[in-house]
Structure 1
Amino acid sequence: MATPTIKKKKTWQPYALYFILPSFILYTLFVIVPTLGSVYYSFTSWDGISSDVRFIGLANFVEIWNSPRVHNALKNTMVLTISLVILENIVAILLAVFVDKVRWLSKIFRSIFYFPTLLSGIVMGFVWAMMLNYNFGVVNQMLDKLGLGAFAVDWLGDPKYAMLAVILSTVWKGAGYYMIIYLAGLQGIPQELNEAASIDGANGWQQFRHITFPLLAGSVTVCMVLAMISALKIFDQIAVMTDGGPGFETETLTYLIYKVGFGELRQGFGTALALVLFFIILIITVFQVKVLQKREVEM
């Protein structure tokens, strides 16, 4: 006679107790509680140091709505974001296509193009600040050696070029990261499609336009969303390279939050501005994802 097997009753309590609960406690302490605290402080005139926390209602948000400095920072943020999203993705796609086509030393090229992403924003900012220095920077020295000294300008001190310098240096740092994502997408495209198009007489550009790029729609969605979020909250490069200047020409919302919160000791106003930036990022991200996913379906 066979011995009856006893089925052990499975329970979820141990998993909740030993795995979910500690994570939930940490998440609550370090995310939920500070977030709720930020919402509260955004309605106050707290300076970030004293125990005097005075409730002022919507005064901070009214000031944000009417402040020319905030409007200028928002304009700079939008210019920077649009430029970075477009340029980083274009450069990343070009690099990915190049690396995908190269048969010799492809791993070396991948490493070279990806290397800048390993640098922190602070280190990258210092490197580019030295390279673009008007007096001893390598960029102006090279222009001078090539007989183009007339084109040497104060890249970080001239209002006409400061934002351009920040954009180009950030593209140099970030394009390699998105290149890896596009490269993964390219390697998932069946080669038979391009071979068939080539037999039908399609040249390289036609193959890219009608086959490769449409099939990269998923990678484009991911990279554009990531690039947009990264650009909207850019801080390190501006802090090191321009300090928001010259004047307020490169001051973005993120850097303005830091300046008013810690430099001017207006934590209440800075927190309110941070909440505004959060909702801006949320709205743009949702809109962007919906538009790009619709494009994926159409393709």
Structure 2
Amino acid sequence: MGIPTSTEKAILAATTRKRKKKHHPFAVVFIVPSLILYTLFVIVPTLGSAYLSFTSWDGISEDIRYIGFANFVEIWSSPRVHNALKNTLIMTVSLVVLENIAAIAMALMVDKVRWFKNLFRSIFYFPTLLSGIVMGFVWAMILNYNFGVVNQILNQIGLGSWTVDWLGDPQYAMLSVILSTVWKGAGYYMIIYLAGLQSIPAELSEAANIDGANGWQQFRFITFPLLAGSLTVCMVLSMISALKIFDQIAVMTDGGPGFATETLTYIIYKVGFGELRQGFGTALAMVLFVIILVITVIQVKILRKREVQY
């Protein structure tokens, strides 16, 4: 087959352009219904929320009074909001790190096991199927100071002095919420990492074995770099999920003890529905939206740089 001449290239390019143009009307037909639904259920409510964030609406009355940037000024100076932001960032960093470490470890374990691979995969994934509310109730009972399984086991093995009020002590409440959330969420990210592991060519590991590389060296220089795409997806998803954490806190600690585990999402709920300050709560939601957007863009930009194409 000869090299195409310039005329043949021009004809081929023109044909390609015609084919692309011919598909445009069909693309619009499929895009318009989705665009209408997206506009009605996402864009319009978002614009409505942006307007309400500049009001003092209580969420019930028809009186919606415009107050300008007063809500955002209060957010800037509120110690309660600052505490919630600090708790949110601590919880987010902890969950992103721990969930991804646990997910990678479980994926490696399932990928290496020879027998009952589907059983192990199902066991690790099962907590993900539970709703946040159910998971919260389960762990609230497990960590209960009086009859919880953890304290009961400590008493039975002679470590009664180690028993603490896991959800009632400010020193342990956030740790308890974080670890229980890792237990629930790591299985989901494990599936993504497992798919990434199974896409890595076996020839690379065989060549590393021949060269005398041990298990850690193979993971450090082969497996982990080639999981860069999966790592980007999992870290972004876990970060967004952590910033929006609500169910577990609502059931396990109610933001307490005091305000020790109150996050931005939970304070939005408490202020908007508990204190009937929908305008202020909506302003907080807009701030959280901007925080998630900025962190996601930065995170994706950083992680994309280390992705390896193979």
TM-score by length of 1: 0.93
Q: Which residue of 1 aligns with 2:242?
A: 231
CA apart distance, 1:24: 3.1
User: Which of 99, 121, 128 lines up with 1:110 in the alignment?
Assistant: 121
CA apart distance, 1:23: 3.2
> Which ranges in structure 2 are unaligned for 5 or more consecutive residues?
1-21
The amino acid across from 1:51 in the alignment is E
| Aligned counterparts of 2:233 and 2:23: Cα–Cα separation in 1 | 38
Instruction: Give the length in aligned residue pairs.
Output: 290
The amino acid across from 2:56 in the alignment is S
The amino acid across from 1:282 in the alignment is L
Q: Which residue of 2 aligns with 1:130?
A: 141
Q: Which residue of 2 aligns with 1:194?
A: 205
Q: Write out aligned runs for 1:61-210 (5 A).
A: 61-210=72-221
CA apart distance, 1:13: 6.4
CA apart distance, 1:148: 1.2
Q: Give the match's secondary structure for 2:216.
A: helix
| Aligned counterparts of 2:25 and 2:295: Cα–Cα separation in 1 | 40
User: Which of 29, 37, 43 lines up with 2:48 in the alignment?
Assistant: 37
Q: Which residue of 1 aligns with 2:260?
A: 249
| Aligned counterparts of 1:23 and 1:212: Cα–Cα separation in 2 | 39
> Does the aligned pair in 1 maintain the 2:54–2:279 contact within 8 Å?
yes
| Aligned counterparts of 2:277 and 2:214: Cα–Cα separation in 1 | 59
| Aligned counterparts of 1:167 and 1:298: Cα–Cα separation in 2 | 34
| Aligned counterparts of 2:112 and 2:78: Cα–Cα separation in 1 | 51
The amino acid across from 1:136 in the alignment is F
- Residue-by-residue CA offset, 1:240-275 (whole Å, 9 max, x unaligned): 000000000000000000000000000000000000
1:221 aligned to 2:232?
yes
Q: Which residue of 2 aligns with 1:5?
A: none
CA gap of 1:215–1:16, structure 2 versus 1, over 3 A, is: closer
| Aligned counterparts of 2:267 and 2:181: Cα–Cα separation in 1 | 19
The amino acid across from 2:37 in the alignment is L
> Does the aligned pair in 1 maintain the 2:229–2:308 contact within 8 Å?
no
- Residue-by-residue CA offset, 1:202-251 (whole Å, 9 max, x unaligned): 11111111111111111111100100000000000000000000000000
- Residue-by-residue CA offset, 1:38-65 (whole Å, 9 max, x unaligned): 0110000000000111100000000000
> Does the aligned pair in 1 maintain the 2:143–2:151 contact within 8 Å?
yes
| Aligned counterparts of 1:25 and 1:208: Cα–Cα separation in 2 | 47
Q: Give the match's secondary structure for 2:229.
A: helix
Q: RMSD across aligned C-alpha pairs, in angstroms?
A: 1.8
| Aligned counterparts of 1:298 and 1:30: Cα–Cα separation in 2 | 37
| Aligned counterparts of 1:117 and 1:104: Cα–Cα separation in 2 | 23
> Which ranges in structure 1 are unaligned for 5 or more consecutive residues?
1-9
The amino acid across from 1:31 in the alignment is V
- Residue-by-residue CA offset, 1:43-101 (whole Å, 9 max, x unaligned): 00000000111100000000000000000000000000000000000000000000000
Q: Which residue of 1 aligns with 2:303?
A: 292
The amino acid across from 1:230 in the alignment is S
| Aligned counterparts of 2:304 and 2:26: Cα–Cα separation in 1 | 40
Q: Give the match's secondary structure for 2:171.
A: coil
More displaced stretch, 192-201 vs 226-235: 192-201
- Residue-by-residue CA offset, 1:93-148 (whole Å, 9 max, x unaligned): 00000000000011100000000000000000000001000001111111111111
Residue identity over aligned pairs, in percent, reads: 80
Q: Give the match's secondary structure for 2:305.
A: helix
Q: Give the match's secondary structure for 1:183.
A: helix
- Residue-by-residue CA offset, 1:150-188 (whole Å, 9 max, x unaligned): 111100000000000000000000000000000000001
1:274 aligned to 2:305?
no
Q: Give the match's secondary structure for 2:144.
A: coil
